[in-house]
Structure 1
């Protein structure tokens, strides 16, 4: 494999406002975020991804070619050190501050911070820039933006609750990427007045009276066996399992989200 030419380090600002000097182009990348791992592969950088997390399941071949360095919130620092990364990519919400600070003391660490679609598109463009794939990153972001812009406007917003956890019940509320995806699909989040990922009681759910209850496939593995539990709480609501990746992954998988979101509304 022909290695890319080496240029002076590129100093960039990440989405947390941190200045990061990255060897350009980086040749040994550790990704600590599943959706950003998939993005790197889709930008043609798979051969340079040397480390990833146990949750980085896309593409399927990623974990065959790279070393698993723990989870998103518990890094194996010895494994990361052995990989000698010249770039680590993380995310404010998905990773933990103490671990990121420890890595940043030794390696260039670029962090994303994403709650909106524009922020996700900016992340894609910036990752393309700092890895030497600017044109590919810009093109991918433009394609995703166009796909979302083409979504048919909702005639009415459908009141919905989006569950991410069970025992205790937890939902996605305002200030989350999921909340933005709900709105773009044509749903009105009945817990939009709450913040982030609150716990809610069965009584709160009943009082909110959603027309649809969306049970995410991740992080809690909701399945068909859970439908009756929620149907009993809200007999008049439509309860369904939804693909959590297409609501919460903010990298290149967003190419698949607009038609999926449209199908959910169309089938209401």
Structure 2
């Protein structure tokens, strides 16, 4: 079987391989989950401490650090054929330093279409076309089904919090915001001229005058929000309902989307009618 040697990642970087990469280091939790779901468990040699799905990988694979700080010597000792990174999760400094070891494949996921391209790329890159197509079909089916589910739903204004002390939210130009849009959640911090960046630090006392959300969504990750945070944030809106949500379902791309669509249906069932 002939093997396609030239590939281009989602940053436009060209990579050459004589054979399908057999030893993979993954620096992104959701992409580790995807690689496992595509039948590549045996090829994964290194993961981050945040790669918690499937759980048993933490005891069977080498932990090479976090997503923002990695142990380069540990990665080098694993002799990987490829390192899988992400533009948002991993720093440019990390990517550049790891290029001396082996090719670093960088994904860039903003939209569901970007997510599908990543899965398609992995199918070609790792010679797992059949597995990739299976997940593409599952996601496309779930996506179309969920769009139908949302047809009669009303738009709700939301603020999606990811951090406290200082308070930070999901802004625009990121995967979380795309999934908010899919749920007909109008993000009050999407392209808000007062706050720059994908995850801006905000002044909660100004929430009323800067959008006054119907819902305040508190993500389960990366910050462990508690009831006191919900109470404090609620005081700075007119009538918002505060809802604790599963951050993995809103921020993990890859095969996780199949579960996310089902989760979103359950979420809508418990939201107040506005």
Q: Given the two structures, how large is their TM-score scaled by the length of structure 1?
A: 0.93
The one-character-per-residue Cα deviations of 1:201-242 (angstroms, maximum 9, x if unpaired) are: 022212221010000011111133422222222251110110
- Which residue of 105, 109, 116 maps to 2:104? 109
What is residue 6 of structure 2 aligned with on the other side?
A: 11
How many residues matched?
A: 263
| Counterpart Cα distance in 1 of 2:180 and 2:264 | 8
Moved over 3 A (4+): none
SS at match of 2:249: helix
SS at match of 1:125: helix
| Counterpart Cα distance in 2 of 1:154 and 1:237 | 21
> Do the aligned partners of residues 75 and 154 (structure 1) sit closer, same or farther apart at CA in structure 2, a change above 3 Å counting?
farther
CA contact (8 A) 2:206 2:236 kept: no
Q: Residues 148-187 of structure 1: matches in 2 within 5 Å? A: 148-151=143-146, 152=149, 153-187=151-185
CA contact (8 A) 1:52 1:67 kept: yes
Q: Which runs of 5+ in 1 are unaligned?
A: none
The one-character-per-residue Cα deviations of 1:181-208 (angstroms, maximum 9, x if unpaired) are: 0011121111112341111102221222
- Which residue of 223, 230, 245 maps to 1:220? 223
> Do the aligned partners of residues 150 and 23 (structure 1) sit closer, same or farther apart at CA in structure 2, a change above 3 Å counting?
same
Does 2:99 match 1:137?
no
CA contact (8 A) 1:186 1:265 kept: no
* RMSD of aligned Cα (Å): 1.6
Deviation at 1:139, TM superposition (A): 1.6
CA contact (8 A) 1:24 1:130 kept: no
Deviation at 1:105, TM superposition (A): 2.6
CA contact (8 A) 2:76 2:101 kept: no
Q: Which runs of 5+ in 2 are unaligned?
A: none
- Which residue of 202, 205, 208 maps to 2:204? 202
